[in-house]
Structure 1
């Protein structure tokens, strides 16, 4: 079975789309009357000179207040404040980010290009404004993911692995084709590395063994598919398990509930 590698518009390996496709992003304008402004985890701030700063803390609500960067400094005013909640299998991307990212927009015109329309939607509200605000915040998150990956903002984890051209090839292969019969040798060959070099480098960058990462990715997809109502047998096949029984054992060990139980009632995430 050939792996359907996805490419970006410039013909290079697309390292993020297969994960972004699985993200579920909920956006609330923290300036609205229905949202607590103290719960905002994305701010666009401007100081007295007009310089702007973008801050995003993809954190649990209980941890937001510990990050001083998230809140306006004495000479700053908040132009945008949003509460962004991210779930879904692709949340592994968010978990790989630093706890808080602060970017001076004067140094990142690529981010500024999408932040300016976001500011406009807040300061000059028009019909369809909430929908535009939602979608622009989603684009901001995607561009921050690119920024973190390209700037090496993560010390270890998924983004760190995706930043490595050879390890990224193996990760994208796993993400795009979880049902493939992957072996360590096959993944190493996909990365263009020796078996030992691949295993060591993958563990150092991602923080998990290649086969451990593969197993967790398959099971995360399986949980999402089951919660969406898909049949246990078809999920087992989709995710590359040799039989429904093998799938049930692995799923129960990971989540503490059988696939049939998860299909009837969503299991609690350990993240």
Structure 2
């Protein structure tokens, strides 16, 4: 039975939704009219002419740090600032981003359309403002991901692979159907490339082999499902492992403990 891949409203392959579905965005309260002490990693600046600039420095993996990149340029003042942390399996998207993204909003109208109400919610507090601010920050992150992918802002990694139309088709196939019995040949066919061309291009762009990336994606999903309380056997099936024993071996190699231990912790 053919796999049904999600498409955008224009009918094109949706390269991001299967990952964004698994992201969890947490936003601290907006820090308005306070000196930037480097804690905020999303800042909107304004200048004397009223032009806005958005700066986002994603926190990668489990790092904690300050963000000197969010200091204002000459003539700028911070208008809104927030501290954003992102977790979940889709965190691979964030790890693929540059260390800091700076976007003059005059050059990016699609971002401006979201940032404008975000500024309103932060600077003109009303009932439900914190919830609205949280949701708008999530949309800003999504649009920054799209911006980085379309602008080719990553040298290697997941976003770089998603920016390539043929490799993107294989990546979306992996993300949408991790339990499918994928082989290198089937993934190459999905990408419309020869086996060798696909394997080499995938490794160059993504920084991992196709089957290595597939294995890691399956195990990341497996860990999340176990944390949610799902049974080991059903997780093994969901993630495409031939048996619970094969799943247990792969999981233990990757994380250093058996899946039953993670399942018991969740219980």
Aligned counterparts, 1:35-50, within 5 A: 38-50=38-50
Does residue 256 (structure 1) correspond to residue 256 (structure 2)? The answer is yes
**Count, aligned residues:** 261
Question: 1:110 Cα shift?
Answer: 1.0
DSSP-derived class of the 2:98 partner: coil
Aligned counterparts, 1:55-204, within 5 A: 55-59=55-59, 62-65=64-67, 67-68=68-69, 70-204=70-204
Computed over aligned residues only, the root mean square deviation of the Cα atoms, in angstroms, reads 1.4
Q: Is the 8 A contact 1:8 1:14 kept in 2?
A: yes
Q: Is the 8 A contact 1:30 1:39 kept in 2?
A: no
DSSP-derived class of the 2:241 partner: coil
Q: Under a length normalisation based on structure 2, what TM-score does the superposition of the two structures give?
A: 0.94
DSSP-derived class of the 2:64 partner: helix
Tell me what 1:269 maps to: none
User: Runs of 5+ in structure 1 lacking a partner?
Assistant: 267-271
Q: Under a length normalisation based on structure 1, what TM-score does the superposition of the two structures give?
A: 0.93
Deviations 1:210-267 (A, max 9, x none): 000000000000000000100000000000000000000000000011101112237x
Q: Is the 8 A contact 1:57 1:64 kept in 2?
A: no
Q: Is the 8 A contact 2:72 2:78 kept in 1?
A: yes
Deviations 1:161-180 (A, max 9, x none): 00000000000000000000
Give the distance between the partners of 1:62 and 1:223, measured in 2 at CA: 23
Q: Is the 8 A contact 1:121 1:133 kept in 2?
A: yes
Tell me what 1:208 maps to: 208
User: Runs of 5+ in structure 2 lacking a partner?
Assistant: none
Deviations 1:28-47 (A, max 9, x none): 12427xxx964211011011
Give the distance between the partners of 2:116 and 2:169, measured in 1 at CA: 34
